[in-house]
Amino acid sequence: MAHTFEIYRDKADEYRVRFKYNSEIMFSTEGYSSKASAQNAIDSIKSNGPSAEVVDNS
CA atoms within 13 A of residue 47's CA, in its CB half-sphere: 6
Largest CA distance in the chain: 36
What percentage of the chain has pLDDT greater than the value 90?
A: 91
**Domain boundaries defined on the chain:** 3-45
Could you tell me which residue, 23 or 27, shows the higher pLDDT? 27
Give the per-residue SS3 of 3-58. EEEEEEECCCCCEEEEEEECCEEEEECCCECCHHHHHHHHHHHHHHHHHCCCCCCC
3-class secondary structure, 1: coil
Mean pLDDT, the chain, whole residue set: 95
Q: What is the pLDDT of residue 44?
A: 96
Give pLDDT tens digits for 29-53: 999 999 999 999 999 999 999 999 9
Task: Give the pLDDT mean for 19-38.
Answer: 96
Looking at the domain that runs over 3-45, which CATH code has it been given? Answer: 3.30.160.160
pLDDT of residue 1: 64
